[in-house]
Amino acid sequence: MIRILIGLGTAIILHLILGWAWSIGGGIAAGMYCRRRAWLAGGIAVGLGWALFVAHTFIVAPEPTIRLLAIMGAMFGGLPGALIPVVTVFVGGLLGVVGGALGASMNPVLTPLWNQLRSRFSQRSHSAIR
């Protein structure tokens, strides 16, 4: 659960600061902390983040959002407007799945480096105190 919350927070922050394409970083963050099914944790984290953004849009401006969805549905070949948020969250989930798989594959490489850096700095801090 904490993995998904870390990924969700990272995805939301990156989405707000850098844009939607960077929300894949939330999937990477969620996937780095999973041993199994990292792709699922990444997909849930980023998909949930995108679902929160869609829900926020409906809460803040319901009438304009419904009109926008109808227009976007017409632009995409006459799709019903209700499918656009579903497709949006699905795309976010796919980004999270890719990010989670990438994070899981980065874990074996980054964990030894992190442990090496941590041990190096912890030795220095103990020797400086004495």
Q: CB-hemisphere CA count at 13 Å for 48?
A: 17
Contact yes or no for 10/29 (Cβ under 8 A): yes
> Tell me, what's the pLDDT at 126?
55
Q: Which two tokens stand for residue 28?
A: 């990477």
Q: Find the helix or strand (DSSP H, E) in which 118 lies.
A: helix 83-129
> Tell me, what's the pLDDT at 30?
94
At position 43, the amino acid (one-letter code) is: G
Domains of the chain, by residue range, sit at 2-129
**Could you report the average pLDDT of every consecutive run of 10 residues in the chain (130 residues)?**
93 96 95 90 96 96 94 90 92 96 91 86 62
> Tell me, what's the pLDDT at 124?
60
> Tell me, what's the pLDDT at 123?
67
Residue (of 112, 86, 110, 121) closest to 28 by Cα position: 110
> Tell me, what's the pLDDT at 81?
87
> Tell me, what's the pLDDT at 111?
84
